[in-house]
Amino acid sequence: MRPGSIIAIFAVVVALIGGVIWYTNSQAENARVEQEQSEQAAQIARDEDTAREEEAAREEERARQQDEAAAAEQAEWDAAEEARMADEAAAGTQDEAASADDAPIVVGDEITEDTIVVESAADAPTILDPEDTATSAEIINGADPAATPDTARNTGVGAPAASGPEQVLTPENFNRDEVLALIDDSAQLSDDDRSGLRALVDGATANPAMVEATINSIRAALDLPPLN
């Protein structure tokens, strides 16, 4: 074989070997690049997932804080509203109490142990205090006050039974049941008159100092002459 052919064959073999080496190295490099790209893509995906999770956590925290702020604001508003309603209720109670205190007491109102309301010649009802003998002996329906009668005579205890108005309506014969029966049986009295006079009789029963003034009031209502 000629030397030139040998050289040519050797050159071809070297070229083939170099091509194989280059191809092998090229494939390895491509595989490495692809692996790096794959790893980078996976890392990017992981980073994106982490970023989304962190953002979701931040959104959840913001929502929680907003809910807490709204709940605190609502609780504060509710407390203020409850306080306002309590103040209004207290003010309403005070107004009702003041109205009850300021409201005029009319004849026929309930009689208590401290206050007795009777009809008088004045425009407004007369309020008698059983504990105040001076007030209790006030002029009622134009009658003059008199001295305090004896307790047994005022309450009718041991008093003889009387029949007519002239006999019943005296301090000596004062008897609650008989006087009330006389008032109820009188045709010339209105219901309001009866209510006021009955209240007056109950007051006189509780306070003997009122007996004579009460009798004069009833006699005046029945068109009878006053006591001498």
pLDDT digits (tens, 9 = 90+) for 68-108: 999 999 999 999 999 999 888 888 777 666 555 554 444 44
Residue 209 counted as domain residue: yes
93 and 7 part of one domain = yes
98 and 143 part of one domain = no
Residue 222 to residue 185: CA distance in whole angstroms: 11
Strand boundaries in the chain, DSSP class E: 116-118, 126-128
Higher pLDDT, 100 or 211: 211
86 and 165 part of one domain = no
Q: What is the pLDDT of residue 169?
A: 92
137 Rama class: left (phi>0) / alpha (psi -120 to 50) / beta: alpha
Residue 61 to residue 76: CA distance in whole angstroms: 22
Residue 192 counted as domain residue: yes
Looking at every residue in the chain, the average pLDDT score rounds to 76
83 and 151 part of one domain = no
172 and 153 Cβ atoms separated by less than 8 Å: yes
Which range, 81-95, 100-114, 136-150, 208-222, has the best average confidence (pLDDT)?
Answer: 208-222
223 and 188 Cβ atoms separated by less than 8 Å: yes
123 and 213 part of one domain = yes
Higher pLDDT, 54 or 106: 54
The pLDDT of residue 132 is above 50: no
pTM above 0.85, yes or no: no
Q: What is the pLDDT of residue 154?
A: 41
Q: Are strands 126-128 and 116-118 parallel, antiparallel or unpaired?
A: antiparallel
Q: Could you say which of 56, 71, 103 is where a domain stops?
A: 103
Residue 214's nearest CA partner among 123, 149, 122 is 149
Residue 217 counted as domain residue: yes
Residues 6+ apart with CB under 8 A from 154: 171, 174, 204, 208, 211
Q: Could you say which of 56, 77, 103 is where a domain stops?
A: 103
63 and 133 part of one domain = no
211 and 130 part of one domain = yes
Higher pLDDT, 14 or 51: 51
Higher pLDDT, 142 or 182: 182
The pLDDT of residue 191 is above 60: yes
2 and 98 part of one domain = yes
Count of structural domains, the chain: 2
Q: Which domain holds residue 158?
A: 116-221
Residue 88 counted as domain residue: yes
The pLDDT of residue 63 is above 80: yes
38 and 73 part of one domain = yes
Residue 108 counted as domain residue: no
130 and 93 part of one domain = no
Residue 226 counted as domain residue: no
Residue 173 to residue 165: CA distance in whole angstroms: 11
DSSP state of 125: P
Q: Could you say which of 103, 125, 143 is where a domain stops?
A: 103
